[in-house]
Amino acid sequence: MKVDVFNTYEELSQKAKELIIHEIKKQKDLLLCAATGGSPTKTYHLLGEEYQRQPDLFTDLRILKLDEWGGIPMDDKGTCESYLQVHLLQPLQISESRYIGFNSFPDDPLLECMDIQEQLVKEGPVDICILGLGMNGHLALNEPAEYLQPFCHKAELSEQSLRHPMASEMQIKPAYGLTLGMADIFCSKMIIILINGQQKKRMVSKFLSKKITSLVPASFLWLHPNVICLIEKDALD
């Protein structure tokens, strides 16, 4: 894992954008797996600004939604769908044919996971996976547990995840999560994990200790051959 520390969130986001653009220039139909939440937001805004300068660069880009809150309407402002539409899909003019994403309110969550898994097998592997570090060390919605799931699955949400700003503001609380599994994430050719915020200091310390445990799912990233970790210095002890 390559770890880079930045003085500001803006510098971190600029570096992430540069890494993504560099890879898109090499492969225009790149499959980008996109996390949601505060950490990648500025990076996505910078990509939107790049689209205004050179829209042709993004005409073949494909997007995969990393995870989703389950049991709430797709048009709820707190869904990962709503977030991605506002911050990434619409700014980059990503068409439906170039987007794979969990339905937040499926008739059958297990069938929904199977459908996303099949699409990932067909369209993948992921070229770049954008991740954040959960407050409890989760990766996507792979929660700390005795064991972890390899593929797309319905996840039982921890109390800490339910306190996430996206979930805490919902009028209807998520009943479960829908997420890529650890093997799905680890098949990515490149992983970029973005970490910012003083509130994550305790978990960042655990993550950087290199002690690999299912109680800190993000710690498994130390086993992947191509991970770039971008950290704002305020998140460090």
Residue 138 falls in the annotated catalytic set: yes
Residue 67 falls in the annotated catalytic set: yes
Q: Using an 8 Å Cβ cutoff, are 213 and 219 in contact?
A: yes
Give Cα separations from 66 to 20, 146, 170, 203 (angstroms): 16, 22, 20, 21
Q: Which of 50, 67, 68, 184 is catalytic?
A: 67
Peptide bond before residue 165 is cis, with ω within 30 degrees of 0: no
For residue 222, give every residue at least 6 positions away whose Cβ sits within 8 Å of its Cβ, in sequence order, or none: 1, 210, 212
Q: Which of 127, 143, 184, 232 is catalytic?
A: 143
Give Cα separations from 59 to 5, 31, 44, 86 (angstroms): 32, 12, 16, 18
Tokens 């939440």 found at: 37
Helix, strand, coil fractions of the chain, as percent rounded to 5: 40, 20, 40
Structure token digits, residue 225: 């051959």
Q: Using an 8 Å Cβ cutoff, are 210 and 175 in contact?
A: no
Q: Which of 87, 138, 153, 164 is catalytic?
A: 138
Residue 136 falls in the annotated catalytic set: yes
Give Cα separations from 139 to 17, 21, 29, 93, 107 (angstroms): 21, 24, 25, 27, 25
Q: Which of 76, 112, 136, 232 is catalytic?
A: 136
Q: Which residues are catalytic?
A: 67, 136, 138, 143
